[in-house]
């Protein structure tokens, strides 16, 4: 995702069009329109109803993209962004934090398994002790269940 901190545009006097914002973030314009339709964005309108995006709008788009990368649904992103009450905002974030932590743990475990496979010199991977250590938790859980 492009960084918006170094954006060399005086956005107060020269706001961006939907096409420029879409290009900046590598998104199709219809995604920005959809986010607007579900209440995530609210760009200013000029003559002819054309959208104009300010620097604040760019930060909003960046927030949405990061939240999506973290796995938040659009309704949760909206709840997070529009929450006037910090407790309500934190509830959304806390719930998604726990889900993301679990996903990260699963990804770390999968990465460990791949690395064990890459470091294995056995002819048969399934007999490699290092590889088996990475699978032991699944084998034990399966045997116990």
Alpha carbons 101 and 96: distance in angstroms, whole number: 9
* pLDDT tens-digit series, residues 117-141: 898 898 898 888 888 888 888 888 6
Q: List, for residues 58-110, the tens digit of each pLDDT value.
A: 999 999 999 999 999 999 999 999 999 999 999 999 999 999 999 999 999 99
CA 114, chain centre distance (Å): 24
Contact 58, 27 (CB under 8 A): no
- Give, as one character, the DSSP assignment of residue 14: S
The four Cα atoms 88, 93, 96, 98 give a dihedral, to 10 degrees, of -110
């Amino acid at each position: 995702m492009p960084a918006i901190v170094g954006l060399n545009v005086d956005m107060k006097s020269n706001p961006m069009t939907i096409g420029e914002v879409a290009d900046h973030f590598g998104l199709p314009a219809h995604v920005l329109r959809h986010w607007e339709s579900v209440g995530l964005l609210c760009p200013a309108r000029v003559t002819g109803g054309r959208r104009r995006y300010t620097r604040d709008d760019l930060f909003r788009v960046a927030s949405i993209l990061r939240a999506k990368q973290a796995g938040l649904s659009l309704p949760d992103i909206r709840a997070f962004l529009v929450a006037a009450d910090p407790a309500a905002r934190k509830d959304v974030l806390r719930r998604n934090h726990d889900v993301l932590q679990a996903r990260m743990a699963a990804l770390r475990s999968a990465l460990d398994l791949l690395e064990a496979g890459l470091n294995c010199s056995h002819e048969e991977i399934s007999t490699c002790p290092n590889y088996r250590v990475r699978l032991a938790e699944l084998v034990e859980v399966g045997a116990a269940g």
